[in-house]
């Protein structure tokens, strides 16, 4: 599936109803109305719904209305947990009337977002590998935790959701198994303990599905596209023996927390995921008592006070729910990272050391490395030598192999080169088949470089990197009758450097929140094999007649559920830890080095902090972090005030009506106790200071000494340099001063950013290191 066209191409759209008609009905669109949480007026109504309805009734009476429809028919959702408010169909004039109400905090148009294994648990050492003592055994496989997955639904019959050996449903669980199309209450079990669907926002914004080329959409929690089934099984899928994708990647499939319970909230449909539906799901998930929320969806960065996910998850965090979000897939563009609220764990994507080689052998003997999950190993018909063509020119998109663009007389019986982009990767293969072609070489363009997101192609095919594509096209252009064959190599593990940063993984610095380093960390997100609906082919295309239980996908959509599952393991191990402590444990123990002991790469260069955040998650170290950075919910409010948010902004985000000036007078040198450190030098500033507090969650009588790698051009001073803990759960503070080094006349700071790290080393166990990345931004210095 083409990452830039499906779940990897993240686009935020504001949808508006058609203005071509004068009818008020046709001019309505969905708005989310946020109300003051402690209104005295609310107490005069018998229910919150009646209170919410009163606002709509007042708005309708306040403008001329050509329709006689009941106002109650226009309310989509009444919220009470994620925010106080409701979503409704309004005209622009009605929305403006509500904005002027003193009890209304904000009126926001609905947004639409897009959705962003057999081996990865071994790569992460969860099974006791990598020298770990066995995270699964220590955490009891995540038993007792409930992970809520907001996505495209679930295929409950998948063997990954078998509940054999699962404990009883936790007594605290308040959710349901919502019945719907081809989904009954018996579809849930002790593994998949709950399922709901939220479609009202999507339904009012879209006409009924009519395209014959679209898979069937179930009006229920049943998954129609496969994305949600894939992510849910990555979080906590049960053990499935002999899992593979048509023979490739064979092994035992398990989720990160195979003992955890899964609750599915279907919020994403064929035309995207509407914020009104997402907010309704978060609202209900809080009431259902989930422990972790996993959101493999998002968009471009937007301000926190307009970000529905940030606003809804603040309340979730206050209720003790860990929130894990995909960083987005608009990399390698700078400042493309989304979901940047500090109470959310923002996850980028990295690679595995598992490869599926499918090498192109040119007739001149030259070999071009490629990869594919097409099951062609040892098949003479799949590996035979063929004439190669690359059809270019015209305005039909032939170089991209768009359906209907390829002339049959040029491609029949041949191997066709297709450039990546515009349409889906697997869809290009169908276009070739329709035109009579028999094989494909999918060629990365300059924008894709050497990215290797692979597919279970419909015909013999392989994906080659940009450097190889230049060689291939040069050969074709210089040869009268160019020929090649694809040699499929099956599955190869451990022979390549990993992890590396995925090129598509969104990058910092955060536009919406530059004072916090984002993404927080990276996790496996490239070529992840996980569960798949049994009525879909492995490509997900409607004309793919093959059927599988597992398939491969790539994206931060895949890395997010890895960390969601690891979060469940840590919560199960330490049920009394704060949400911030769990996040801190993963960040401060993250890896900067790959499996070969070399610095993690981003392309051909060492990965920077804006690509990997704190590093690549290492659950074996995170389960025993030594020290953690705790944050209380009230600290986030102080933080928002400290970075210049207004009283109304803070109210919109946190539902708290506070005086920022009063808070800042009480906390004049406030620093959010975040595991990473971000410093911004504004014009004229020569020094910045931050304070941090660490809590000993390891052995009593522990002593830690500091080691600093200072950013270029910065002197770093830490006081104290040693932290002596006498007791477990003891908290100590330290301060860090960042001082601009004196420069010679005319000398400038090299670049706009600097990076370093501050590490506390346990003097009695030198392998226990608590590391905080340091990001420095120079503004107009």
Which structural domain, as residue segments, surrounds residue 697? 627-631+672-778
**Could you tell me which of 619, 6, 559, 121 has the C-alpha nearest to residue 354?**
121
Q: Among the ranges 318-322, 660-664, 753-757, which has the highest mean pLDDT value?
A: 318-322
Residue 112, helix vs strand vs coil? strand
pLDDT score, position 20: 36
**Strand order from edge to edge, sheet including 104-109:** 75-79, 85-90, 29-35, 104-109
The CATH number of the domain holding residue 753 is: 2.60.40.2310
The CATH number of the domain holding residue 607 is: 3.40.50.200
Q: Is residue 132 part of a domain?
A: yes
Between strands 240-245 and 248-253, the pairing is: antiparallel
Q: Which residue has the higher pLDDT, 20 or 161?
A: 161
**Bridge partners, 599 (sequence order):** 593
pLDDT of residue 8 exceeding 70: no
Active site residue 227: yes
Task: Give percent of the chain above pLDDT 70.
Answer: 91
| 700 within 8 A of 726, measured Cβ to Cβ | yes
Q: What is the per-residue pLDDT across 638-659, written as a single tens digit (0 to 9) for each?
A: 999 999 999 999 999 999 999 9
Q: Which pair of structure tokens corresponds to residue 526?
A: 């490239």
3-class secondary structure for 753-771? EEEEEEEEEECCEEEEEEE
Q: Is residue 660 part of a domain?
A: no
Active site residue 224: no
Which of 463, 486, 509 finishes a domain?
486
| 369 within 8 A of 540, measured Cβ to Cβ | no
Q: Which pair of structure tokens corresponds to residue 250?
A: 């064979």
Q: Is residue 322 part of a domain?
A: yes
Q: How many Å apart are CA 689 and CA 669, to the nearest integer?
A: 8
pLDDT score, position 19: 35
**Could you tell me which of 12, 31, 18 has the C-alpha nearest to residue 76?**
31
Q: How many Å apart are CA 506 and CA 508, to the nearest integer?
A: 7
Q: Label residue 64 by pLDDT band (50, 70, 90).
A: low
Read off the pLDDT of each residue in 328-355 and give the average, rounded to a whole number: 94
**Strand order from edge to edge, sheet including 731-740:** 627-628, 687-696, 731-740, 714-719
pLDDT score, position 17: 32
Q: Give me the chain's average pLDDT, please.
A: 88
**Residue 235 shares a structural domain with residue 162:** yes
Q: Is residue 570 part of a domain?
A: yes
**449 class by beta-carbon count within 10 Å (0-12 exposed, 13-18 middle, 19+ buried):** middle
**Residue 232 shares a structural domain with residue 306:** yes
**Could you tell me which of 619, 612, 452 has the C-alpha nearest to residue 522?**
612
Task: Give percent of the chain above pLDDT 90.
Answer: 68
DSSP 168-231: PPPTT----B--BTTB-GGG--SSEEEEEE--HHHHHHSPPP--TTSPPPPSSSB-SSSHHHHH
Residue 734, helix vs strand vs coil? strand
**Residue 293 shares a structural domain with residue 319:** yes
- For residue 239, give the DSSP letter: P
pLDDT score, position 21: 37
Please state which of the ranges 18-27, 259-268, 633-642, 761-770 shows the lowest mean pLDDT: 18-27
Q: What is the per-residue pLDDT across 585-611, written as a single tens digit (0 to 9) for each?
A: 999 999 999 989 999 999 889 999 999
> Rounded to 5 degrees, what are φ and ψ at 136?
-60, -45
Which of 109, 131, 155 finishes a domain?
109
Tell whether the torsion through CA atoms of 119, 121, 127 and 130 is positive or negative.
positive
| 400 within 8 A of 419, measured Cβ to Cβ | yes
Between strands 370-371 and 461-464, the pairing is: antiparallel
pLDDT of residue 23 exceeding 70: no
Helix, strand, coil share of the chain (percent; to 5): 25, 30, 50
Length of the chain: 781
Contact residues for 762 (Cβ-Cβ < 8 A; gap 6+): 626, 698, 702, 703, 704, 768, 769
pLDDT of residue 451 exceeding 70: yes
pLDDT score, position 249: 84
Read off the pLDDT of each residue in 207-226 and give the average, rounded to a whole number: 76
Alpha-carbon dihedral angle through residues 418, 423, 427, 433, given to the nearest 10 degrees: -50
Q: Which pair of structure tokens corresponds to residue 406?
A: 């390829």
What element of type H or E holds 10?
A: none
Question: What's the domain count of the chain?
Answer: 4
**Could you tell me which of 342, 349, 348 has the C-alpha nearest to residue 677?**
342
- Torsional class of 208: left (φ above 0), alpha (ψ -120 to 50), beta (otherwise): beta
Which of 603, 623, 643 finishes a domain?
623
| 599 within 8 A of 607, measured Cβ to Cβ | yes
| 560 within 8 A of 234, measured Cβ to Cβ | no
Tell whether the torsion through CA atoms of 396, 401, 403 and 404 is positive or negative.
positive
Please state which of the ranges 390-399, 415-424, 481-490 shows the lowest mean pLDDT: 390-399
Place of tokens 């768009």: 402
Q: Is residue 664 part of a domain?
A: no
**Residue 292 shares a structural domain with residue 428:** no
Q: How many Å apart are CA 207 and CA 216, to the nearest integer?
A: 15
The CATH number of the domain holding residue 85 is: 3.30.70
Largest Cα–Cα distance in the chain?
85
Q: How many Å apart are CA 305 and CA 284, to the nearest integer?
A: 21
**Could you tell me which of 342, 357, 310 has the C-alpha nearest to residue 527?**
357
**Residue 278 shares a structural domain with residue 409:** no
Q: How many Å apart are CA 330 and CA 334, to the nearest integer?
A: 9
**Residue 314 shares a structural domain with residue 180:** yes
Q: Work out the end-to-end distance of the chain between its first and last CA atoms, rounded to an integer number of angstroms.
A: 45
* pTM recorded for the entire structure: 0.91
Place of tokens 């704190």: 614
**Residue 267 shares a structural domain with residue 365:** no
Q: Is residue 530 part of a domain?
A: yes
Other CB atoms within a 10 A radius of the CB of residue 211 amount to 8
**Residue 365 shares a structural domain with residue 348:** no
Q: What is the per-residue pLDDT across 133-176, written as a single tens digit (0 to 9) for each?
A: 577 777 788 889 999 999 999 999 999 999 999 999 999 999 99
Q: What is the per-residue pLDDT across 460-474, written as a single tens digit (0 to 9) for each?
A: 999 999 999 999 999
What element of type H or E holds 367?
A: strand 367-368
**Residue 240 shares a structural domain with residue 332:** yes
What element of type H or E holds 23?
A: none
**Residue 320 shares a structural domain with residue 405:** no
Q: What is the per-residue pLDDT across 519-539, written as a single tens digit (0 to 9) for each?
A: 999 999 999 999 999 998 888
Q: Label residue 290 by pLDDT band (50, 70, 90).
A: very high
**Could you tell me which of 404, 399, 403 has the C-alpha nearest to residue 416?**
399
**Residue 226 shares a structural domain with residue 162:** yes
**Residue 46 shares a structural domain with residue 166:** no
Q: Is residue 463 part of a domain?
A: yes
Q: Among 557, 572, 589, 775, which one carries the catalytic annotation?
A: 557
> Rounded to 5 degrees, what are φ and ψ at 229?
-60, -40
Q: Is residue 131 part of a domain?
A: yes
Between strands 439-443 and 461-464, the pairing is: parallel
Contact residues for 255 (Cβ-Cβ < 8 A; gap 6+): 121, 160, 233, 234, 235, 236, 237, 238, 530, 561, 565
Q: How many Å apart are CA 551 and CA 537, to the nearest integer?
A: 9
Contact residues for 781 (Cβ-Cβ < 8 A; gap 6+): 681, 683, 685, 740, 748, 749
Read off the pLDDT of each residue in 726-736 and give the average, rounded to a whole number: 97
> For residue 543, what are the CA distances in angstroms to 376, 458, 579?
20, 9, 45
Q: Which residue has the higher pLDDT, 206 or 625?
A: 625
Between strands 354-355 and 492-493, the pairing is: antiparallel
pLDDT score, position 640: 96
Q: What is the per-residue pLDDT across 234-270, written as a single tens digit (0 to 9) for each?
A: 999 998 988 888 888 888 889 999 999 999 999 999 8
pLDDT of residue 456 exceeding 50: yes
Q: Which pair of structure tokens corresponds to residue 139?
A: 């955490």
Q: Among 36, 52, 202, 227, which one carries the catalytic annotation?
A: 227
Q: Among 151, 277, 291, 452, which one carries the catalytic annotation?
A: 151
Q: How many Å apart are CA 152 and CA 1, to the nearest integer?
A: 16
Q: Which pair of structure tokens corresponds to residue 554?
A: 């790539």
Active site residue 602: no
pLDDT of residue 377 exceeding 90: no
pLDDT score, position 242: 84
Q: Which pair of structure tokens corresponds to residue 588?
A: 């401060």
**Could you tell me which of 593, 567, 698 has the C-alpha nearest to residue 130?**
593
């Amino acid at each position: 599936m083409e990452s830039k066209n499906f779940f990897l191409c993240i686009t935020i759209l504001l949808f508006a109803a058609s203005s071509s008609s004068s009818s008020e009905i046709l001019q309505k669109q969905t708005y989310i109305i946020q109300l003051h949480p402690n209104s005295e007026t609310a107490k005069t109504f018998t229910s919150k719904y009646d209170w919410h309805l009163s606002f709509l009734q007042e708005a309708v009476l306040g403008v001329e209305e050509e329709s006689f429809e009941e106002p109650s028919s226009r309310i989509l959702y009444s919220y009470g947990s994620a925010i106080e408010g409701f979503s409704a169909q309004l005209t622009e004039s009605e929305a403006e009337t509500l904005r002027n109400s003193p009890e209304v905090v904000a009126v926001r148009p609905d947004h639409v977002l897009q959705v962003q294994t057999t081996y990865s648990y071994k790569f992460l050492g969860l099974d006791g590998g990598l020298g770990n003592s066995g995270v699964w055994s220590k955490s009891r496989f995540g038993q007792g935790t409930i992970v809520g997955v907001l996505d495209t639904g679930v295929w409950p019959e998948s063997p990954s959701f078998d509940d054999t050996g699962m404990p009883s449903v936790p007594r605290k669980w308040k959710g349901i198994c919502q019945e719907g199309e081809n989904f009954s209450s018996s579809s849930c079990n002790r593994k998949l303990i709950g399922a709901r669907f939220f479609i009202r926002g999507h339904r009012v914004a879209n006409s009924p599905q009519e395209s014959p080329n679209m898979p069937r959409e179930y009006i229920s929690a049943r998954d129609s596209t496969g994305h949600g089934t894939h992510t849910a099984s990555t979080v906590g899928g049960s053990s499935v023996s002999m899992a593979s994708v048509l023979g490739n990647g064979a092994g035992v499939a398990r989720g990160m927390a195979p003992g955890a319970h899964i609750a599915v909230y279907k919020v994403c449909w064929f035309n995207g995921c509407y914020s009104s539906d997402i907010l309704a799901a978060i609202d209900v998930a809080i009431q259902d008592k989930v422990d972790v929320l996993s959101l493999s969806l998002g968009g471009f960065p937007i301000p926190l006070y307009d970000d529905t996910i940030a606003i809804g998850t603040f309340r979730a965090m206050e209720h003790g729910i860990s929130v894990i979000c995909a960083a987005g897939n608009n990399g390698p563009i700078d400042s493309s990272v989304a979901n940047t609220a500090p109470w959310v764990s923002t996850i980028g994507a990295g690679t595995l050391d598992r490869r599926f080689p499918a090498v192109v052998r040119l007739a001149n003997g030259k070999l071009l490395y490629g990869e594919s999950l097409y099951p062609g190993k040892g098949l003479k018909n799949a590996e035979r030598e063929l004439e190669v063509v690359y059809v270019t020119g015209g305005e039909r998109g032939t170089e991209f192999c768009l359906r209907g663009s390829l002339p049959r007389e040029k491609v029949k019986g041949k191997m066709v080169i297709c450039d990546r982009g515009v349409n889906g990767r697997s869809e290009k293969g169908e276009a070739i088949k329709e035109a009579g072609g028999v094989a494909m070489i999918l060629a990365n363009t300059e924008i894709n470089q050497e990215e290797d997101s692979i597919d279970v192609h419909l015909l013999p095919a392989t994906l080659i990197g940009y450097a190889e594509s230049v060689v291939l096209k040069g050969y074709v252009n210089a040869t009268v009758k160019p020929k090649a064959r694809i040699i499929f190599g099956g599955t190869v593990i451990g022979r390549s450097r990993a992890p590396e940063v995925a090129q598509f993984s969104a990058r910092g610095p955060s536009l919406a929140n530059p004072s916090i380093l984002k993404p927080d960390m990276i996790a496996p997100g490239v070529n992840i094999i996980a569960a798949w609906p049994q009525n879909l082919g492995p490509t997900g295309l409607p004309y793919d007649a093959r059927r599988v239980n597992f398939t491969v996908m790539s994206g931060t959509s895949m890395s997010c559920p890895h960390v969601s599952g690891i979060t469940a393991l840590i919560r199960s191990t330490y049920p009394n830890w704060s949400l911030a402590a769990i996040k801190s444990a993963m960040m401060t123990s993250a890896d900067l080095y790959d499996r070969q002991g070399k610095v993690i790469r981003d392309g051909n260069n060492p990965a920077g902090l804006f690509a990997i955040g704190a590093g690549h998650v290492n659950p074996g170290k995170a389960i025993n972090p030594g020290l953690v950075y705790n944050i209380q919910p009230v600290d986030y409010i102080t933080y928002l005030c400290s970075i210049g948010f207004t009283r109304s902004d803070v109210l919109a985000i946190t539902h708290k009506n506070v005086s920022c000036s009063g808070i800042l007078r009480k906390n004049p040198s406030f620093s959010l106790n975040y595991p990473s450190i971000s410093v911004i030098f504004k014009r004229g500033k020569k020094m910045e200071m931050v304070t941090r507090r660490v809590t000993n969650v390891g052995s009593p009588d522990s002593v830690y000494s500091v080691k600093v790698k200072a950013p270029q051009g910065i002197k770093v001073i830490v006081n104290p340099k040693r932290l002596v803990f006498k007791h477990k759960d003891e908290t100590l503070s330290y301060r860090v001063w960042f001082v601009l080094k004196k420069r010679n006349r005319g000398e400038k700071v090299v670049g706009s950013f600097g990076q370093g790290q501050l590490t506390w080393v346990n003097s009695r166990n030198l392998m226990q290191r608590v590391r905080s990345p340091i990001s420095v931004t120079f503004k107009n210095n």
